[in-house]
Chain A
Amino acid sequence: MSSEKTITHSEAATRFNQDTERVNWHDETLWFVREKRDKSAHQIQDWELLRETASKIKNNVLSNIHDYLVEFEANAQQNGIIVHWAADAKEHNEIVHAIMVKHEVKQIVKSKSMLTEECHLNEYLSQRGIDVIDSDLGERIVQLRKEPPSHIVLPAIHLKKEDVSETFHKHLGTEKGNNDPQYLTEAARLHLRDTFLTRRAALTGVNFAIAETGEFVVCTNEGNADMGAHLADVHIACMGFEKLIPQRKHLGVFLRLLARSATGQPITTFSSHFKKPRDGKEIHIVIVDNGRSTQLGREDFRNSLKCIRCGACMNTCPVYRRSGGHSYHNAVAGPIGAILAPNLDMSKNADLPFASTLCGSCTNVCPVKIDIHDQLYKWRQVLVKEGHTPATKTIAMKTMATVLANPVIFNMAGKSGRFVMKNVPALVNNKMNKWYDQREMPDVPEESFREWYKKNSRESKTDKDEQ
């Protein structure tokens, strides 16, 4: 991962907030998805028991992942699947490229895989003359616009239908100004059908991989993963190693939780179990580490690897809803992205754990009970200790610590603060002071609480009476 300068979350969020109407729309759209999740979850009597069970299964996986991986590989190989191991993003991309070179394929159709976003596979392949087409509708829209997805489940949630219409008019020749989602979806269906029929290689992500059987499961609503995989000679499935679950029957728990948490659907339209390749065809699995084994060793942050990528934490997050996925400058945005990203690059992603109010809503909706907001808080402490936070913040915090630790300085600071705010407000109420960006300060009181208490407490009144 590069450490080049990226725009910080707060700066990107400020830009996103310039269009108030659009931000309100974004906020409401995601909240609508959150409400669908609630409605769906409340229909399941055992919902909390399901969450607890899923959490325990994932804890077991993390505590025994070495053996599960060995078991999974052996079973997958026995099923005729070719298994590859990639230590990092670079090796993952090289493996995928090498498979394509071996088969002399120059074009590939992809279904959604956040892992390949994390590894920047599309860029890597296109630099080597390979044409990559994303087949999930939302991903295709953002790909045509040369943007990254802004949400792991809803990649184009930041766009309005007018934007999509404009993009499709430019790239697919749809009627200008026709904003009908039905019409636009139909245009994408026709365009991508031709893609599915002509690609000899297909790449998919993996939602769950089962150690016991060596099979893996891919969930989609559109059917794009299946259209790609069943028409291609070579199917490459890429997975982070944490996607493993022990046994087939555990899918019952996760498939009940995944779609309900994501969009409020009772299940995705297709939950496809790939166990063996078709006769004469190939299935490859690329098992990727890319920092996950490091995260596994960080006791405070290990639990982030339980994530099943439903996106519920994003839909509920007041900061995500009002700052947009792109402001997180990471393949996975939102609260979960903010605890995964610092593991990949602490310096580049030091701003992300601060992009939260720590309200805990993410933790409350997480289907596998990741303590997301606690981890955000813990990351802040690690980042400050390791010197990754901006100097202004560090100085401000240190000054604050000195002031609060010393009653005399505290008193003086209060007095001079009140004086300044009353008589020369421009000294504090200016562009340098971030607190004034979206706030008006209340009127300054004449005296501090301490001064008032000195006059009005029972002791001081008794003193006065005695005098």
Chain B
Amino acid sequence: MSSKEQILQKIKQNQPGEVTELPDLNVLGSESFDVLKTYKKVLKSIGGDFAEVADYTQIIDFLKNSYALEKRIITTIPELSEIARLDWQNDDPHSLEDVELTIVKAHFGVAENSALWVTDALLGQRVAPFIAQYLAIIVSKKDIVATMHHAYDRIGNQEYGFGTFIAGPSKTADIEQSLVLGAHGARGLIVFLMD
């Protein structure tokens, strides 16, 4: 008998006789709060930052003032081609090691934890938001949902190969519980909240 058969047989024999019911999830996520205000507050509290912008021109202006534009900047958003490259998406992911800033869009954000949902379709390459020194994510203000329950309602049966929630910059507190931003992923996260 294969290990699979052996394990499954033992599980069948040992699991409880009756299947217990799954709980109703609709009773959750009824908390009411100002989603945009909460989103901003939580993002700040976990080391992220935000800027409210009306259009891509304002994003370009902001980035020109805040980042070293002579370094390598990549994006998947054609509107930002003035300041960032678009031609890296089929390269070897290792070649992205010198990227200073990655700029991508998020499908939506979650107010209670400031997480942003991104998938293959928006990332260009899976490693792009992780390998860059800094990360900028654009999300529409109307696409902020309240809780994770709303987030998964929104995701539904969305098809993706890879998707991730990103909440703030990469961080660690493994040395004496001292919080340090920039563990292995981005050292900083700026979220552009678009009208």
Contacts and interface: CB of A to CB of B under 8 A. Distances in A.
Contacts of B110: 267
Interface stretch (B52-60, B136-144, B157-165): B157-165
A266 interface: yes
A269 B168 contact: yes
Contacts of A418: none
B18 A63 contact: yes
Contacts of B7: 85, 87, 241, 287, 289, 293
Nearest to B182: A189
B148 A161 contact: no
Contacts, number: 245
Contacts of B155: 248
Interface stretch (A50-58, A335-343, A387-395): A50-58
A155 B14 contact: no
Given A141-B174, A248-B155, A255 B148 contact: yes
A289 B3 CA distance: 9
A60 B22 contact: yes
A229 B163 CA distance: 13
B66 interface: no
Interface string A177-195: 0000110111001001100
A266 B12 contact: no
Contacts of A253: 25, 28, 148-149
Interface string A89-106: 001000000000000000
Interface in A262-305: 263, 265-278, 287, 289, 293-294, 296-297, 302
A266 B111 CA distance: 10
Nearest to A195: B184
Contact-size category for B: 35 or more
B13 interface: yes
B15 A66 contact: yes
A29 to B, nearest CB: 6
Interface string A330-364: 00000000000000000000000000000000000
Contacts of A241: 7, 11
B99 interface: no
A135 B18 contact: no
Interface in B151-185: 151-153, 155, 160-178, 180, 182-185
A156 interface: yes
Interface stretch (A219-227, A437-445, A455-463): A219-227
Contact of B184 (A56, A196, A246, A297): A196
Contacts of B174: 136-138, 141, 154-156, 185
26 contacts: A29-B177, A44-B112, A46-B28, A60-B23, A63-B19, A69-B11, A136-B174, A137-B183, A156-B175, A221-B171, A223-B184, A224-B184, A230-B130, A230-B131, A231-B93, A241-B7, A249-B25, A251-B152, A253-B25, A256-B112, A256-B113, A268-B167, A269-B167, A273-B163, A274-B162, A287-B7
Interface of B: 2-4, 6-8, 10-16, 18-23, 25, 27-31, 42, 46, 93-94, 97, 110, 112-115, 125-127, 130-131, 147-149, 151-153, 155, 160-178, 180, 182-186
Given A45-B31, A156-B174, A293-B10, 13 more contacts: A46-B28, A60-B20, A60-B22, A64-B15, A69-B11, A161-B176, A193-B97, A229-B126, A230-B130, A256-B112, A270-B165, A272-B164, A293-B14
